[in-house]
Every structure is written in C-alpha cells, then in structure tokens.
Amino acid sequence: MAEEKKLLKVTIDNITVEVEPGTTILMAARKIGGDIVPPTMCYYSKLQNTGGYCRTCLVRVAAGSTADPRPMPKLVASCRTAVMDGMIVENITNPAVLEARKGVVEFLLLNHPLDCPVCDQAGECDLQDLSYEHGAEATRYEFKRRTFERIDIGPYIQLHMTRCILCYRCVHTANQVAGNREHGVLDRGDHAQIATYIQKSLESPMIGNVIDVCPVGALTDRTFRFKNRVWFTKPVDAHRDCPHCKGKVRLWMRGDDVLRVTARKDQFGEVEEWICNECRFEKKQVSDWVIEGPTRLDRHSVINAGHYEKIEKPQEFLTEVMHGHAARILLDIHAVSDVNMVDLNVINGPATNATFNGNPKAVGTNVTDVKEGKGRNVAGTDSTNPNTP
Amino acid sequence: MGRKLLLENAHIENIRLYDVYRQNGGYAAVEKAFKMAPADIVEEVKKSGLRGRGGAGFPTGMKWSFLAKPEGVPRYLVCNADESEPGTFKDRYLMEFIPHLLIEGLIVSSFALGSNRTYIYIRGEYAWIVDILEQAIAEAKAAGFLGKNILNTGFDCEIYVQRGAGAYICGEETALLESLEGKRGNPRIKPPFPAVKGLYGCPTVVNNVETLAAIVPIMNIGGEEYAKIGVGRSTGTKLISACGNINKPGIYEIDMTISVEEFIYSDEYCGGIPNGKRLKACIPGGSSVPILPANLLLKTAKGEPRMMTYESLADGGFPTGSMMGSGGFIVMDEDQCVVRHTMSLARFYRHESCGQCSPCREGTGWMEKILTNIENGRGKMSDIDLLWDIQSKIEGNTICPLGDAAAWPVAAAIRHFRDEFEWHVTNPDEALQRNFGLAHYADPIEVAATP
C-alpha cells in the first residue's frame, strides 16, 4: 500500500518548502535551515509534548492556508502549530515578531542571574546564544532577582534553580526517557521551581540526560563542575559497548584527560541518542572508550574557536608579485633577536620577563634551563620531592 | 422592570430543596428535553443566541456543535464553577440558592451532548457549596432525574462535583481539565481544542455555571422566545454582580436592554453612588477587562449612551471601550486611587500566574513591582512607559488568556488615567496623603445634594 502522502506547501520568510502533514512550522523551518529557523528554549524534537512555554519561537502566520487565507490574529508558537497547505509564515521578515522575541528574551533574562563567568554551561548555553542574537544590550529590570539555594539532587547532578527558565524539558525527559520521575515543578508563577519532593535524589539510571537537555546551567554535571571551561576542552566522538544504552557519546577532553562525557548533539543542540548514567559519570578514562575522531561542531562557535580542524595554508603570492623571482631573505630575525633564542614550545607556562633575562629564580622558564633541556616541570618536581634542597 | 429568567424563583423560601423547586415548575425542562432529539436541543440553543457567560462570550450553540463525536469514545460535559475573577460572584449565588437550576441545566445539556459523566469543577474556596450541590444531586437522583435510564429514555447520566484547590488559573478551561485529571493546573496548548481532545483525551465541552443554568429557561420558553429578549446578538438575561461604591451591591439579572447609566443610578439596580460622591471609573466585566473612566463608561466615543450589552460595552475596541466579561461590575467613586487599584490587580495576577510561559511568569511580577514603586512614591516617569511596553509584550504572546487578563487592566489604566500615574510620580509625598480625585473624567451627571 504505497499510498502517496500529499505534501503540504508552506512558505516561511518567502522560502517555500514541501513537508508532510502534521509537521510543525518549526520543523518546516528547520528543513529549510539557516537564519529563518526560530530559536527554541523549551521545545525538544526528541521529546514529546515539549514546547509552547518559552515563546521564543513565536512567528506570525500571514495566511492560514489556501482554503482559509485569513491571517492568525495572534503570534503563534511555531513549535506547536502544525502547517497547513498554502500557509505563509513570517519570521525574521516581520518586525513585530522580532520585537516580541526581544521581549521574550528580556523576560527570560529577568530573573536569570547572568553569572556566565562562573557558570559551567557558558559557551554552550542556549540562553547565551539567544540573548546575544535577540536580546537588548542592557536590562531594564531594577529589582532584586529571585534566588534559590543550590541543591545536589543525587550524587551526580546539581540543581541551581536561580538559573532555571522553567522550560520543563527535564520534567519531560524524566517522564519519557528516565521512566521514573522524581522531580517536578513546585509552586507557581515567578516563584515556581524545579524541585524534588522534600530533597529526594534523582536515582534513575538514565536521569543524567536532564543535564544535556537543560538549555541553561540549572542542571549541571557534578563530576565536571568547575573542572574546565567548555571552550578549552576538545570534543571527541567515542563509543563503548554499554549494556544500558547505545554507548555513543561525546568526550570532552583536555590533553589526555576525559573531563566530561555527554550525549552527541545535532546542529540544533538536541541529543541524538540518550546515554546512561554509567557512560556519563563513571567512564572517565580514555581506555574505556573507542575514539572515533574529533567532533565537527557547527553551531557553538565559542567551542570551535580554539580548535583548528581545517587548516588552510594561505596562497603564496610573493613569487607572482615579484614577477617570477623567488623571495630572498633580507634579515634573519633569529640572528639578531633574543626572543627567538628561546624555544617557546618547551617552556612550562607562558613566557615572562624572566624567561628572557636569565633570572635564575624563574626556574623552568630560564633561558639556560631551557637550553639545557630541563625546562619541563622542574617547579613541580621541586615541590613534590622532599629530597630537593 | 426587566424580565427575570434565572432568578425568577430565587425569592421563594427553601427553593434550594428539590420538593420546593419541583413545585415551582422545576425539572420541566428535563421532561421537555428528553422528548426531543439531542441534535434538536443543540439547534434550540443555537436559535437562542445564548453566549457563554464565563467571560469570552462565545456562542454556546456553536461551541456545542463543534463537539467531535467519534464512535466508541465517551464525551464529557464539564461545568466550570471555578469562579475566581475578582468582582464576580454570580455563580456562587446561583449554586448556593438555586442549585437545582444548575443541576437541571446540566442534565439537559448532558443529554444534548451525550455526556454520561458530567463534572462540576468548583473552586476550592466554595467548600460549603459542594455540600449544597451534592445534596441537590442526591435529591435529583432520588427523584429519577439522574442515574441509570433517566425517564425511561435509556440515557444514563451521573454528575460529580470536584473541588479545585483554589487557583485562578484553573478557571481557564484546559487548565481546569488538567486539574480535573489530577494533574498540575497548567493550561494546555491549543489546538487541539477541548471539543476535540479534552478531558482524558475525549471530546469535552466546558461551560460556565450561568450558561448551563440558562439552558433551563431556553428549554422552557423555547430558543426563539429567548432570543427576543435583549438587543441584537446579546440575547437573554445576564447576571451582573455589582460591587464597589454603590448603594446596593449584589446580583442583578438584567435583560441587556438597559443603559449603564440606568444600571448604576436607578433604584431598581445599584441605586447610585453612596455619600453623594461622584463616579470616577468602572470595571464593567470582572477584573480582567479594561477599566473605563466615567465619561467613557456612560457614553461611547461616538456620544451614544452605553448599554449593558456585549456589543455596546465593547464599542470602540480597547482604546475607548471595554468588555462584558463575566459580569463583575466594579464601581469606583472619586475617592478611589486607580494606581493603587491597578497595583492590587497586578499583584493578583502575579500570584495566580501558573508560571508556564515566560512572558506571563516574569512580566506579571515585574509589573507588580513597578506599580508598587509608583504607588509608594518611588516611581520614575520612565516607569510608566516601561509598564506600557511590558504589557504590550505580554498581551497576545502567552498560552492562555491569563497573560492578556494581566496586561489589559494595566494598559487601560495607563491609557485612561495617565495623568494620575504622572501625578503619583511627580508628587510622591502628596500621593501618599491623598487621592488624585476626579480630574476630567468625572461623570457628566450632577449629583443631587445630599439630604
């Protein structure tokens, strides 16, 4: 029964795409891709019944369908509105949508502590990206922000409710992935909070996924807290034979150390396959994993900043400019400068004045030390070896 | 003297009891309805032009005809008795004094919609009314109007009363259904609408108490006769719960042919403003609808007298009009401070916001804090524009109408009473001592000298 499904035509920001019936405006926009994809803070395509809460994905429907071309009276949440044939949607082409989105971002940041400098999520935070793209430069809120105490919910997860934007993703994750929900939303309004009932801990073997779905730094990995900034770590795809999950993960490494294990995320920051707590929290040795190779991240530019995956040598124009003559060295800088007398690669830590002026107290960074090849870790050896005078 | 349909027998002693109610023509509507086909009853309600009395004013017959009727799936009727709108107390009066009117309306409506299990979701604070309703249900059951095989038609119906836990948001129909299912009372995202997927995922109709009670006179006198009462699309009678600075606060049944001026000043209704004061402002339909200054309340922007009808109260749209809403008529005299009143409403909406979607969750709290500052003499001139900006970003961008309901009163107060807000900012010390007074928006009607 190869019944052909009728595809629906939907036009988003003057780009027409054909999608299957039942697709939401957001998923149609994602099919097109690019700048016209509305941002999402609460919607998660891998979970059911998410979305509609944060209101960042609001769009205007300029024409409901071919059959009923009236515009919708209000802005609609694109994540929860199904497309109709002939629907015309305005996202970034409509100033009212952008204005509403700006308002939503302001509301989301209203009670957010903006403690990005000490937040583990910084660098891969959806709210950071959102406020950078759509937010105002300053807040107009002059009152005390709502604060909560940090709570350790379970041995692996810390809840910092002050940062939470109440997207309900973790609640849906606990329901649908972990299967055993031990936390939920208590209270209501601006004092609503994610909490366990009387300080219970989250024990489900899949509960670690709430860390990955959290769009902000409200749920953080206790095994990674303050270990490193994410942009200093290198993401590497790896897998292992896990009895509980598929074991396909992303390792965040610094040097040879596995600092953090997360699930793999797609270009919209959504988890591809859920991983279990054992993979996430307990396998922190390189030997536990089969490394597949470095991860290509195309969304979180901050993390990409320190990684040089595709090095392209600049094209050499000199010969061309010199009309075919080869370049000639006028002056060998190494012959006249002390700076380059020091091999900076072997210095332990950044170069200082002492590196160059031969100060004997600058052990390990001293020019002579370096030249004699005992530059590395000399200071460390000194402090740990009691026999050292 | 307007025609009374709902409160016709309200003055009779012990009308709360089944026997008295029955003797005064009660349950005639059930007997009549059960001889008709359900579709005909829906048609009759459509003919009557009855509009939802809960606030939105959506035509009830139309709502009923939207109800999906898939095979093998139960359908539900839910009575929304979660009357929490500040200034509205009409359902309480109906349920407390003539509970059988509601039960009768529920039986007819259940039959028309094919609901074998009908729920009354009542607000938690109306605890004693639960007992009254349950007694009425037991009496109706004993008399054979509820239970199995009612009046030998083969139709079974049970009515259950469920208490809420005291949340304003549970008056929103989808939040009510969530709460009824035993979950957290968060509004659902629409579509799907309850008429397709409501209680327990089944088609559901949610109606206000007064709407369902109005089914009884519609059945008794017929839809066309009912439609003759009132003006234009505002048919039938409406209960108005009048409160505030009036001589006779209380529940009034009006037939929607009188003017606002008559309603406030005539002795038959509110009886005028006490103590020889003058009218300053009025919220004509419960706390969520825009407040109107006296000059715009009594006459529309076109200069016509404003009538107590859905259309006339909404005349001029939000710039110069308001809404009928749920009929909570709050009158304010010259001694009332609009800033203080707006602050109090903002506090209410902040407290009652469910916290699900961000504009409402964060915006209501922000507005409350700014208004508290202005009221207490710590406001800045820029705060007024900021308030306007906040409310415009809440309105229309939320899941349920609570965001709109929180934004509209603030918007209307700034729109009509901006000079009073500015006076609060420029004269903070004086604002703490006295009220702004009437200014230019006083009613044009002269006050008779106090005797």
B210-235 tens-digit pLDDT: 999 999 999 999 999 999 998 888 99
Q: Which of B189, B356, B363 sits opposite A107 (nearest CB)?
A: B363
B181 domain residue, yes or no: yes
Query: Taking Cα atoms as reference points, which of B150, B162, B180 lies closest to residue B124?
Result: B162
**Beta strand residue intervals within B62-114, DSSP E:** 75-81
**pLDDT above 70 covers what percent of chain B?**
97
Band (B75; pLDDT cuts 50, 70, 90)? very high
B449 domain residue, yes or no: no
Looking at residues A157-170, what average pLDDT do you find?
93
- Cα–Cα distance measured from residue B194 to residue B204, given in angstroms and rounded to the nearest whole number: 5
Residues of chain A contacting B383 with CB distance shorter than 8 Å:
none
Q: Which region, left, alpha or beta, applies to residue B341 given φ > 0 means left and ψ of -120 to 50 means alpha?
A: alpha
pLDDT tens by residue, A26-75: 999 999 988 899 999 999 999 998 989 999 999 999 998 888 899 999 99
Residue-level pLDDT at A387: 44
Q: Which of B350, B354, B359 sits opposite A103 (nearest CB)?
A: B359
- Is the domain of B63 the same as that of B32? yes
Last residue within a domain, chosen from B228, B245, B277: B228
What is the full DSSP assignment across A204-255?
A: -TTTTHHHHH-SSTTEEETTTTTT--GGGSEEEEEE---SSS--EEEEEEET
- Is the domain of B66 the same as that of B176? yes
Domain holding B379: CATH number? Answer: 1.20.1440.230
Q: Is the pLDDT of residue B337 over 50?
A: yes
Q: Is the pLDDT of residue A307 over 70?
A: no
Q: Which two tokens stand for residue B103?
A: 């039960």
Last residue within a domain, chosen from B300, B333, B366: B333
Query: Taking Cα atoms as reference points, which of B365, B172, B54, B126 lies closest to residue A187?
Result: B365
Q: Which of B352, B358, B369 sits opposite A104 (nearest CB)?
A: B358
Q: Which of B362, B364, B397 sits opposite A58 (nearest CB)?
A: B397
- Is the domain of B260 the same as that of B345? no
Q: Which of A82, A108, A189 sits opposite B354 (nearest CB)?
A: A189
* Range scoring the smallest mean pLDDT among A160-169, A225-234, B98-107: A225-234
Residue-level pLDDT at B86: 92
Q: Does A77 touch chain B (CB under 8 A)?
A: yes
Q: Give whole-number Cα distances, A337 to A334, A341, A360, A365, B316, in Å.
A: 5, 7, 21, 18, 83
* Residue B371 structural domain: 338-434
Q: How many CB atoms lie within 10 A of CB B20?
A: 15
Looking at residues A103-111, what average pLDDT do you find?
93
What is the full DSSP assignment across B311-379?
A: HHHTTTHHHH----TT-EEEEEETT--HHHHHHHHHHHHHHH--S-SHHHHHHHHHHHHHHHHHHTT--
Domain holding B275: CATH number? Answer: 3.10.20.600
Residues of chain A contacting B172 with CB distance shorter than 8 Å:
none
- Cα–Cα distance measured from residue B430 to residue B285, given in angstroms and rounded to the nearest whole number: 32
Q: Is the pLDDT of residue A367 over 90?
A: no
- Name the minimum distance, in Å, from the CA of B354 to any CA of chain A: 5
B7 domain residue, yes or no: no
- Choose the mutation target among B170, B362, B390, B398 for the interface with A, i.e. most A CBs under 10 Å: B362
pLDDT tens by residue, A250-292: 999 988 889 999 999 888 889 999 999 999 999 999 999 999 9
Q: Which of B361, B369, B396 sits opposite A74 (nearest CB)?
A: B396
Name the more confident of A242 and B439.
A242
B314 domain residue, yes or no: yes
- Is the domain of B347 the same as that of B430? yes
The number of distinct structural domains making up chain B is 3
- Is the domain of B258 the same as that of B389? no
Looking at residues A157-173, what average pLDDT do you find?
93
Looking at residues B434-448, what average pLDDT do you find?
71
- Is the domain of B264 the same as that of B282? yes
Band (B174; pLDDT cuts 50, 70, 90)? very high
With tokens 């002269």, the residue in question is B446
Residues of chain A contacting B364 with CB distance shorter than 8 Å:
189-190
Q: In CATH, what class is A8-103? A: alpha beta
Last residue within a domain, chosen from B185, B204, B228: B228
- Is the domain of B134 the same as that of B201? yes
Looking at residues A193-218, what average pLDDT do you find?
88
* Range scoring the smallest mean pLDDT among A152-156, B367-371, B443-447: B443-447
Q: Is the pLDDT of residue B352 over 50?
A: yes
Band (B273; pLDDT cuts 50, 70, 90)? very high
- Name the minimum distance, in Å, from the CA of A351 to any CA of chain B: 49
Query: To the nearest whole number, what is the mean pLDDT of chain B?
Result: 91
Task: Determine whether the interchain pair B399/A108 forms a contact, defined as Cβ–Cβ distance below 8 Å.
Answer: no
Band (B89; pLDDT cuts 50, 70, 90)? very high
Q: Does A187 touch chain B (CB under 8 A)?
A: yes
- Is the domain of B317 the same as that of B388? no
Do the Cβ atoms of A261 and A284 come closer than 8 Å? Answer: yes
**Paired strand residues for B390:** none
Q: What is the ipTM of this complex?
A: 0.89
Q: Is the pLDDT of residue A309 over 70?
A: no
- Is the domain of B194 the same as that of B268? no
- Is the domain of B315 the same as that of B357? no
Residues of chain B contacting A192 with CB distance shorter than 8 Å:
354-355, 361
Query: Taking Cα atoms as reference points, which of A107, A88, A74, A103 lies closest to residue A36?
Result: A88
Amino acid symbol at B304: E
pLDDT tens by residue, B113-140: 999 999 999 999 999 999 999 999 999 9
Domain holding B125: CATH number? Answer: 3.40.50.11540
Spatial strand order of the sheet with A76-77 comes to A15-19, A8-12, A87-90, A58-63, A76-77
Band (B318; pLDDT cuts 50, 70, 90)? confident
In this structure, chain A runs to a length of: 389
List all residues of chain A from 127 to 186 with a beta carbon under 8 Å from chain B. Answer: 140-141, 143, 165-166, 168, 184-185
B6 domain residue, yes or no: no
Looking at residues A337-349, what average pLDDT do you find?
68
Q: At what angle do helices B99-113 and B127-142 cross, to 10 degrees?
A: 60
Residue-level pLDDT at A25: 94
So what's the architecture of A115-226 in CATH? 2-Layer Sandwich (3.30)
Residue ranges covered by each domain of chain A: 8-103, 115-226, 231-309, 328-379
- Is the domain of B120 the same as that of B76? yes
Query: To the nearest whole number, what is the mean pLDDT of chain A?
Result: 83
- Cα–Cα distance measured from residue B282 to residue B99, given in angstroms and rounded to the nearest whole number: 30
Residue-level pLDDT at B438: 83
Looking at residues A214-222, what average pLDDT do you find?
93
**pLDDT above 90 covers what percent of chain B?**
80
Residue B246 DSSP symbol: -
Residues of chain A contacting B389 with CB distance shorter than 8 Å:
103
Task: Determine whether the interchain pair A55/B350 forms a contact, defined as Cβ–Cβ distance below 8 Å.
Answer: no
Residue-level pLDDT at A386: 44
Task: Determine whether the interchain pair B356/A187 forms a contact, defined as Cβ–Cβ distance below 8 Å.
Answer: no
Task: Determine whether the interchain pair B366/A103 forms a contact, defined as Cβ–Cβ distance below 8 Å.
Answer: no
Looking at residues B186-215, what average pLDDT do you find?
93
Give the residue on A whose Cα is nearest the Cα of B191.
A81
- Is the domain of B39 the same as that of B186? yes
Do the Cβ atoms of B92 and B83 come closer than 8 Å? Answer: yes
Band (B18; pLDDT cuts 50, 70, 90)? very high
Amino acid symbol at B286: G
Q: Does A111 touch chain B (CB under 8 A)?
A: yes
For residue A326, report the phi and psi dihedrals to the nearest 5 degrees.
-75, 155
Cα dihedral B183, A80, B351, B391, rounded to 10, equals -170
